[in-house]
Structure 1
């Protein structure tokens, strides 16, 4: 089964499930669904940053400071966060990511999803999926901040990152 065939819950503006749709159709038709964003840090506190492969359905070849993805039909945000983090980092036995907050991402151009933001400490050696990750490294947060101007980033990840910085500053 391709990722375009994966079944997703379609949700309303209050994150209530209203129907289900294959992922490819949900993207093509701009149907609101659910996603998870997991900020992974290594033992030294550096952020996992990667560049997506050019074959990704959404935002190919762009950089991201989160691992994550869509929440499958009937799957909880918490379960999706752990599954996606382990898949993208290429590890098993990761601690359960900690939920921080949720927001509605909408770029006004047909990309809209409820976004649950998590964080996790990954002290395991990573081996990211070559189908999903073209390049990766753990970078200090100040270097990530510098790269925000130089690299092209996924817009939803950037939105989540800005909200996460605001969330932490309210701390």
Structure 2
């Protein structure tokens, strides 16, 4: 995966004025911003992507519809729009995004990789067939729709949950509640 320049944040999420490569931020455990975009349908399904097999974190696991790092100098909204276009080939405007909050996550996916992120989370209604989406093969190997109830059941099952990126239970609860409120 290509490295990119990102803004470094302090523990409270404020800009430090420092810009580093994403790989450096992960190696050093520096806080930085990301975007998470959850697509859902009017039928109560959510879109999940399967991460490419050669990703440095959580390869081959099912994850958020679209996610990525906020580039240096980029706003979260602009980053979300860019990532959606890159990963699934869909053009979305700012009006098509609903910001629902920021979630702080600290993970260590590998012994030498520290992912301390402020996730800027958006919801967006999917009004097209997933068959029309163009996947960025370097990032996404597959995409699927899953009913929210089925997804909640999977998250409660320790064996099935191993096929999904291990986000906090509180994170998933927050997301699923917010999506349900939109239906």
| Residues 42, 169 of structure 1: alpha-carbon distance in 2 compared, 3 angstrom cutoff | closer
Residue 138 in structure 1 maps to residue 145 in structure 2: yes
Whole-angstrom CA distance in 2 between matches of 1:89 and 1:169 = 23
**Segments ≥4 residues shifted beyond 4 Å:** 166-171
Contiguous gaps of at least 5 residues in structure 2: none
Q: May I ask how many residue pairs the two structures share in their alignment?
A: 169
Q: Which residue of 1 aligns with 2:27?
A: 28
Question: How far off is 1:163 after superposition?
Answer: 2.7
SS at match of 1:136: strand
**Structure 2: how far apart are the matches of 1:39 and 1:128?**
16
Check if 1:12 corresponds to 2:23: no
Q: Is residue 2:113 matched to residue 1:114? A: no
What's 2:136 paired with? Answer: 129
1:162 paired with 2:173, answer: yes
Change (3 A) 1:100 1:63: same
- The 1-side partners of 2:32 and 2:70 are apart by 8
**Cα-Cα RMSD:** 2.5
For residues 180 and 46 of structure 2, what CA distance do their matches in structure 1 show? 18
Structure 1 pair 87–126 and aligned structure 2 pair: CA distance change class (3 A): same
Unaligned runs of 5+ in 1: none
Label 1:3 to 1:166 Cα distance change in 2 as closer, same or farther (>3 A): same
Instruction: Report if the CA contact (8 A) 1:37-1:81 is conserved.
Output: yes
Is 1:56 paired with 2:55? yes
Query: Is the Cα–Cα contact under 8 Å of residues 36 and 117 in structure 1 kept in the other structure?
Result: yes
C-alpha distance in 1, partners of 2:92/2:120? 21
Q: Which moved more, 1:160-169 or 1:27-36?
A: 160-169
Query: Which of 153, 165, 170 is 2:164 aligned to?
Result: 153
Aligned mates of 2:135, 2:42 — CA distance in 1: 17
| Structure 1 residue 167: Cα displacement | 5.4
Check conservation: 1:7, 1:20, Cα contact below 8 A: yes
